[in-house]
Amino acid sequence: MDRKIFLLACVIGGLGVVFGAFAAHSLKPLLSSSSFESFNTGIRYQMYHSFLLFFVGVSTHLKPSHKSILFKLILTGVLLFSGSIYLLATNDLTSFNFKVIGFITPIGGLFLIASWLLLFVYFFKKK
């Protein structure tokens, strides 16, 4: 499980850097300032959660089953939260109206919040 967690952390972190460079060098002139800020919010949360995955992977205080649940929550949360923000922020650049998927962003946020709360519960119960 730890290997999977580390690999996902690397992929999420690496893609965060790629998206950041792409935004700064290619998207910035094409997006409004609010859309650019939104895109950067997606990147920021993606990067935060890549570090959280590294922490989960190296933690000796978590059971493998706990790590598995956190892995799934964080992966789903990043995909839904950051992914939908990327699509919504670039909505004006496409012919498809991504605003119809706007409800996905808070659902992704709930998955991310759940991962932090569950991590708190795991450590709170540990003696």
Query: What total number of domains does the chain contain?
Result: 1
Q: 1-56, pLDDT tens digit by residue?
A: 789 999 999 999 999 999 999 999 999 999 899 999 999 999 999 999 999 999 99
If phi > 0 it is left, if psi is from -120 to 50 it is alpha, else beta; for residue 114 that is alpha
Q: How far apart, in whole angstroms, are the C-alpha atoms of residue 83 and residue 46?
A: 9
Tokens at 63, concatenated = 């059971």
pLDDT surpasses 90 at 98: no
Tokens at 126, concatenated = 């540990």
Residue 46 lies in domain:
2-125
Euclidean distance between the first and the last CA atom of the chain, given in angstroms as a whole number: 23
| Rounded average pLDDT over 91-117 | 91
